[in-house]
Amino acid sequence: MLPPKQAEEAAIPATDIATFSNETAQGGDKEQGGETAPVFSMKNLLWHGGSAWDAWFSCASNQVAQVLLTLPYSFSQLGMLSGVILQTFYGFLGSWTAYLISVLYIEYRARKEKENVSFKNHVIQWFEVLDGLLGPYWKAAGLAFNCTFLLFGSVIQLIACASNIYYINDRLDKRTWTYIFGACCATTVFIPSFHNYRIWSFLGLGMTTYTAWYLTIAAAVHGQVEGVTHSGPTQLVLYFTGATNILYTFGGHAVTVEIMHAMWKPQKFKYIYLLATLYVFTLTLPSAAATYWAFGDQLLTHSNAFSLLPKSRWRDAAVILMLIHQFITFGFACTPLYFVWEKVIGMHDTKSNCLRALARLPVVIPIWFLAIIFPFFGPINSAVGALLVSFTVYIIPALAHMLTYRTPSARQNAAEKPPFFLPSWTGMYVVNALVVGWVLVVGFGLGGWASMTNFVRQVDTFGLFAKCYQCPNPHPPPALPPQQRRQL
């Protein structure tokens, strides 16, 4: 038994070993046929990303996808003041739990490195971290919530693709567009891991930045519609539905562990999610506030902000860029599912990208099918936020952190100590307990009730397999000549 001081010092090299081993494991992707690829080759520049900047782009790009278009809808349900306050609150709350996940990942890696476990051909995932730290029951819970969340997150991307393209080309209904984009998004099976999303993350964030500022400027230039009203909040169901949509907005943690594992030095991730969230605020707050200011209560029946803005080249450009970004986000959401499926069928260690891509295809089929069954753009965001994100992103990480460091020896030998702004373990426990209590009552409880009530209303109104959800009739039937009307 090591004395306390020596035990604490022993934990520091363990973290360094984890970092060095991670560099070796991820660097192995650069080796082909026993030869190391050139350090400054174009392939490395565009394909092999593992820096802190790559992680920042991945986090920021993954946070603001199609939800950017539904935040004005949430503001119409919440009202302007609540919308701004809840965005800020859940943004910081999400950054805190992302920090907890990063700490638990480092702890897991440090313990495994002491056991000489190699991860050279293995991508660590969140459920494996829970298994290593807390046991099989936590593994099962993490696997169930995380995979279901990612499954419906991918479904939402397909629904959003069909919803957006309809505003450029309404000759095909949204269901047909879902068929088409399902086939297009299936090509993400060829992207091996988050290590290879460097150029896509960079482009994706640029696309959402353009779209956010287009919404802001277009709404300001358009001005308020005649007789605009801002009556929200009016109903508890709508209020908590909007709140859970914002809860979902800052819940991109389902891929946090995979993004960390793709980094050369995962210790640098600790505050990356917070920095990404601060940038995301500059996109979501102005665009949602400006669009709600311009259109007010009209947004209650238009969950996609594009539907209210006049057609123009600027809007068409925003739609196209969002389509490309949703393809990227579909890959972000599906890649962890690909990894899980590969591990189930024993293909995760296969070095052939073509064989892995072929093995991944069965994952896309249920996603495609669910997008056709439930084409409800805004309501499904809220339902996923309340029932899945609340546990996956907020409750499970906070509880896992509390239980992992519940003993004095675990706290003493922790690979990562409490942060400088909250240096007390007691303070960490208090904050985590508040997170669990708030999200369990407000997010899962009230939010779950409201979002499912709203979701059932959509099913009752539009039915399953809706051909064109919330579609105006752009081509009304021509009026009959007077003679034919008389005959009828």
Per residue in 135-179, pLDDT tens? 999 999 999 998 988 888 888 888 878 777 877 877 777 778 888
* Residue 32, both tokens: 């082909």
Measure the CA–CA gap between 322 and 167, rounded to whole angstroms.
12
Measure the CA–CA gap between 282 and 285, rounded to whole angstroms.
6
Report whether pLDDT(391) > 60.
Answer: yes
Q: 338 falls in which pLDDT band (50, 70, 90)?
A: very high
Report whether pLDDT(39) > 70.
Answer: no
pLDDT digits (tens, 9 = 90+) for 434-482: 999 999 999 999 988 988 887 777 665 555 555 565 566 544 444 445 4
Report whether pLDDT(22) > 50.
Answer: no
Report whether pLDDT(350) > 90.
Answer: no
Report whether pLDDT(321) > 80.
Answer: yes
- Tell me the pLDDT of the chain averaged across its residues: 82
Q: 120 falls in which pLDDT band (50, 70, 90)?
A: confident
Between 337 and 7, name the one with better pLDDT. 337
Percentage of the chain exceeding pLDDT 70:
82
Report whether pLDDT(52) > 50.
Answer: yes
The predicted model gives 326-340 an average pLDDT of 88
Report whether pLDDT(399) > 80.
Answer: yes
Report whether pLDDT(488) > 50.
Answer: no
Residue 91 burial (10 A CB sphere; 0-12, 13-18, 19+): buried
Nearest CA-CA partner of 77 in 238, 200, 282, 277: 238
Q: 201 falls in which pLDDT band (50, 70, 90)?
A: confident
Output the 3-class SS for 245-261: HHHHHCCHHHHHHHHHH
The predicted model gives 326-332 an average pLDDT of 86
- Single-letter amino acid, residue 166: Y
Q: 17 falls in which pLDDT band (50, 70, 90)?
A: very low
Report whether pLDDT(37) > 60.
Answer: no
Report whether pLDDT(211) > 90.
Answer: yes
Q: Is domain 48-462 classified as CATH 1.20.1740.10? A: yes
Q: Are 350 and 97 in contact (CB under 8 A)?
A: no
Question: Cis peptide before 233, with omega less than 30 degrees from 0?
Answer: yes
What pLDDT was estimated at residue 473? 53
Report the SS3 class of residue 47: helix
Q: 242 falls in which pLDDT band (50, 70, 90)?
A: confident
Q: 398 falls in which pLDDT band (50, 70, 90)?
A: very high
Report whether pLDDT(385) > 80.
Answer: no
* Residue 170, both tokens: 């309404």
Q: 103 falls in which pLDDT band (50, 70, 90)?
A: very high
**Tokens 């909250």 sit on residue:** 422
What pLDDT was estimated at residue 18? 40
Most confident of 27-31, 272-276, 484-488: 272-276
Nearest CA-CA partner of 374 in 181, 197, 206, 174: 174
Report the SS3 class of residue 36: strand
Q: How many CA atoms lie within 13 A of 227 on its CB side?
A: 1
Query: Which element (helix H / strand E) includes 35?
Result: strand 35-36
The predicted model gives 251-265 an average pLDDT of 84
Nearest CA-CA partner of 79 in 201, 243, 228: 243
Measure the CA–CA gap between 50 and 264, rounded to whole angstroms.
5
The predicted model gives 72-81 an average pLDDT of 94
